[in-house]
Amino acid sequence: MPSLCRSFAAAALVLALAACGSKITEDNFAKIHEGMTRDEVTGILGEPTESSSVDILGVSGSSATWTDKRARITIQFVNDKVRLKSFSKPDQER
């Protein structure tokens, strides 16, 4: 029986850490600066929830969005470098 309790406790801990482990925070948003590469941004935020890109006359542009229940971060890249960024919470988007 003790191993069952340990297994249950371990599972509960994993779920609690996953719930608290979002990288989509204002603190991480503040770490993103103009000129950073897409790889540097993904190092901080993880892979984006959605992204799109376009390439016109040798200039590439892309947009990436990271979303969870509490916040949304959108980053605009030009030639793989951060140019614009925005942070919002669901209650701010109304």
Parse the chain into domains and list their residue ranges.
Answer: 23-92
42 contacts 48 by C-beta, under 8 angstroms? yes
pLDDT of amino acid 10: 52
pLDDT at 14 over 90: no
- Which element (helix H / strand E) includes 20? helix 2-20
Tokens encoding 37: 């590469």
pLDDT at 11 over 90: no
- At residue 16 the predicted structure's pLDDT band, cuts being 50, 70 and 90, is very low
Is the pTM higher than 0.75? The answer reads no
Distance CA 46, CA 31 (A): 13
pLDDT of amino acid 21: 74
What pLDDT digit, counting tens, does each position of 20-56 carry? 578 999 999 999 999 999 999 999 999 999 999 998 8
**CA 61 to chain CA centroid, nearest Å:** 19
CATH classification (class only), 23-92: alpha beta
